[in-house]
Amino acid sequence: MVSREKRLFLLLVRFCTATRFLTIVRVSWRAEEDSHQFNKCLIFFPLIGALIGVVGYLGSNLALLFFPQQVVAVLAIIYLSFISGFLHLDGLADSADGLLSSRPREDCLNIMRDSRTGAMGVIAVVCVMLAKYSALSAMDPQMFCMAIFFMPLAGRSAILFTMARLPYAREEGGLGGLFYSDSSKIAALAAFILLLIFFVLLTPSHFFIAIIAILAVNYIFGRWCRKRLNGATGDTLGAVCELTEMITALAFTASFSFF
């Protein structure tokens, strides 16, 4: 029987593993043992997203004292990308190159594995960044910082939603496949409940539109990945994070127009 101290230590180890993977923060842990914890740390994905959001929320409130909202929007977007080591933006670019190539499944997967970024990838990244910037810039100042909090939380939760719905597409395995486990659905449900709680407690007026938008993007993008790739890859998981951050910002803007 595992002692309480051992369970707490394992939880700390898995939290550190999730932090090391999802952010550039190198918490103190033996990185060579991360591979043993990958598929056990999923439950911490939304928590890491929430912590990223808290730092973004506090930093944005402080920055607004000195800079216009448009400037802070740029700084926030850079922060959200940089804190993950641009990992998810890279996944978005690779996914766009493969999914928009109109090639057979195997060719799409090979294109996505290529480290070089093509025209479709560049266009996708530019479009997503512009959408984030336009939404944050047009937003009511009172909701601006709150949106920055929810964007990374929703994005990391969306990764779990996709993993719960789609199998891993690469038979030979890959980085994304290391996270798949029998607990994916449980982690996704926990993430959804946490997201609901935060929306209801912090911004109930935006709850309905934001949740519908997040789930709609996840469903549509997931259907596309299933049709083109027969599942998800590490790149598409990064892409769904970026797309969800974008739609969350847009949903905050749209919901403000109605309430």
Q: How many domains does the chain have?
A: 1
3-state secondary structure of 111: helix
What is the residue range of 174's domain? Answer: 44-258
Please check whether residue 13 lies inside any domain of the structure: no
In a domain, 226, yes or no: yes
**DSSP class of residue 37?**
T
pLDDT score for 256:
46
Q: What pLDDT is attached to residue 20?
A: 85
Instruction: Single out the residue of 245, 37, 25 nearest to residue 129, CA to CA.
Output: 245
| pLDDT for the residue numbered 11 | 77
**Distance separating alpha carbons of residues 165 and 184, to the nearest angstrom:** 9
Return all residues near 87 (Cβ < 8 A) that are at least 6 apart: 22, 238
Provide the pLDDT for residue 130.
97
Low-confidence ranges of the chain (pLDDT < 50): 1, 32, 256-259
Return the pLDDT at 169.
82
At 141 the pLDDT is: 82
Residue 8 is assigned to a structural domain of this protein: no
Q: Is residue 10 assigned to a domain?
A: no
Residue 26 maps to a domain = no
Question: What does the alpha-carbon distance between residue 93 and residue 111 come to, in Å, rounded to a whole number?
Answer: 11
Q: Please enumerate in sequence order all residues whose Cβ is within 8 A of that of 193, keeping only pairs 6 or more positions apart, or say none.
A: none
Residue 199: inside a domain:
yes
Q: Kindly state whether residue 109 falls inside one of the protein's structural domains.
A: yes
Q: Is residue 143 part of a domain?
A: yes
- Per-residue pLDDT, 56: 96
